[in-house]
Amino acid sequence: MRISIIAFVCLLTFSCNNKYKEVKNTPEDYQVIPKPSKMGMLTGKFLVNANTRVVGSEALKNEGELLANMLSSATAESISFSSEGKGNITLKLDDAIENEEGYKLNVAFDKIEISAKKAKGIFYGIQTLRQLMPASIEAKDGSLKELTIPAVKIEDNPRFKYRGMHLDVGRHLFPAEFIKKYIDLIAMHKMNTFHWHLTEDQGWRIEIKKYPRLTEIGAWRKETLVGHGATKKLDRKYDGKRYGGFYTQEEVKDIVAYATTKHVTVIPEIELPGHSLAAITAYPELGNTGEQYEVGTRWGVYDEIYAPSEKTFGFLEDVLTEVIELFPSKLIHIGGDEAPKTQWKNSKFAQEVIKREGLKDEHELQSYFIKRIEKFLNSKGRNIIGWDEILEGGLAPNAAVMSWRGTEGGIAAAKQKHDVVMTPGHSVYFDHYQTEDKDKEPLAIGGKTTVADVYAYEPMPEELTPEERQYILGAQANVWTEYMKTTDHVEYMILPRMSALSEVVWSSKENRNWEDFSIRLNTFKDRFDALGLNYAKHTFKK
């Protein structure tokens, strides 16, 4: 009797799936962003139901459970992952796949297989599978009466190894839960790096146990500039409201662990030698003038800069020791941008250091400063990455460069055989306006960068030789938050520009087409709606 029941269930399952065997699919069923390297439409659909089971090795438990939970929450069926037995959705590691982030996805009416060299490739295959399902799955309310996935054969891998998004929490702070949401968006777009800008003139945002005044004092400003401000100091208006906060080390650990499950590397940024007013306010002995300081209340560049003293280096080494215990990233961002040299020029001590070290000028003093920090981080098994100003006065031996003032810094660094992440302001600064009609837009820093502008960006400079091109790791968008007070505002500024960048850094140059992308984006926005995201709608106007 028991055999008969099992046979009946198997027959019933096959019959349910079999009715989808000859279903014809259309191009509208395959609206994936970023566009896969190779994708072939097939006949048939896979039906997700109570008999669906996800299987794979124990090494793929994280990915298997993620997929099983995705399917369960969409259908209200109890779909599980197992590392034993048989299933109709199989996750498999395959050493024959060359790219470490590449994957193969095969969907037939009766089975699905995702294979990859590494677990992260499996994860990206799942993100593609997710987009082959209706956007309503994102609601996770179990409302889908019938969930089918179109049959397809995909072979896919990214063009660039570094695909990143930055977020400034120094100017405005965002809750830890939103940081996780931001990481979710990075992962959904098959991007793999979150650059977390944690320290600024206007606020120090990470707990450092050895230096409690960094968060007791440095994390708080007495008020904030209203609007863009004014040229004349006396004409500036402030809101009169104390503002601040920080992330505890426990919160940071939780966020980094969460990002790991999404195959997102978190790169922390501790700014030096400039953009350091909040830290100097907390510990005035780190400054050059001996005066009392105040955490920044306006935007822009401040003259305050770390003194090139042993006390400063000891402080920064202590800070970075705690930072690297929290972040496993091989790269640690040390800033290096917008560091005015006025105080060093007027500092007797700084001038003595220049003379003692045989340096030519204050630019070489900055290079000396950064090389000291690099040597320390290298001794801990980490490398530095900094904004392109670290080229001035000579590049530290193992430093990577983020090229933000156009592409020139990146080209120069690649020619010197240093790794480069391209992040030029003209194409991937998401704090710019998205249209000429600025009066109808939320306040932004200025400029204009549309979704089309982002999509048209080509990260690989033509000026480089084939050998030099290997040093271009990829690209990143920067989200500076002087004028972004809320999480809704951040979402509005990054979406759907982030979607455009994801295709720029993942898909081959030959495989990109604006008209084709626009069609797929119109479908992709339904996913934003289902997720309750606040995105800009300019691109979707007919």
Is residue 538 in a domain?
no
Residues 173 and 30 in one domain: no
What is the SS3 assignment for 131? helix
Q: Which of 156, 172, 193 is the last residue of a domain?
A: 156
CATH at 149: 3.30.379.10
Residues 146 and 205 in one domain: no
Residues 310 and 248 in one domain: yes
Is residue 441 in a domain?
no
Q: Can you tell me the distance from the alpha carbon of 430 to that of 236, in angstroms, rounded to the nearest whole number? A: 25
Is residue 114 in a domain?
yes
Q: Which of 156, 174, 206 is the last residue of a domain?
A: 156
Identify the burial level of 300 via C-beta atoms within 10 angstroms of its C-beta, where 0-12 means exposed, 13-18 middle and 19 or more buried: exposed
pTM: 0.96
What's the angle, vertex CA 90, arms to CA 137 and CA 24, rounded to 5? Answer: 60
Is residue 535 in a domain?
no
Residues 251 and 189 in one domain: yes
Residues 371 and 460 in one domain: yes
Residues 176 and 294 in one domain: yes
Residues 404 and 420 in one domain: yes
Residues 238 and 361 in one domain: yes
Is residue 372 in a domain?
yes
Q: Which of 108, 136, 156 is the last residue of a domain?
A: 156
- Print the domain residue range for 123: 17-156
Residues 294 and 426 in one domain: yes
Residues 245 and 320 in one domain: yes
Is residue 459 in a domain?
yes
Residues 185 and 37 in one domain: no
The first and second tokens of residue 413, run together, are 């660094």
Contacts of 304 (CB under 8 A, 6+ apart): 201, 274, 276, 277, 280, 287, 288, 293, 343
Among 163, 159, 396, which Cα is nearest to 272's?
Answer: 396
Per-residue tens of pLDDT for the chain, all 542 residues:
444 444 444 444 445 567 889 999 999 999 999 999 999 999 999 999 999 999 999 999 999 999 999 999 999 899 999 999 899 999 999 999 999 999 999 999 999 999 999 999 999 999 999 999 999 999 998 888 899 999 999 999 999 999 999 999 999 999 999 999 999 999 999 999 999 999 999 999 999 999 999 999 999 999 999 999 877 888 899 999 999 999 999 999 999 999 999 999 999 999 999 999 999 999 999 999 989 999 999 999 999 999 999 999 999 999 999 999 999 999 999 999 999 999 999 999 999 999 999 999 999 999 999 999 999 999 999 999 999 999 998 988 999 999 999 999 999 999 999 999 999 999 999 999 999 889 999 999 999 999 999 999 999 999 999 999 999 999 999 999 999 999 999 999 999 999 999 999 999 999 999 999 999 999 999 999 999 999 999 988 65
Is residue 440 in a domain?
no
Domain count, the chain: 2
Residues 463 and 332 in one domain: yes
CATH at 179: 3.20.20.80
Is residue 207 in a domain?
yes
Partner residues linked to 167 by β-bridges = 196
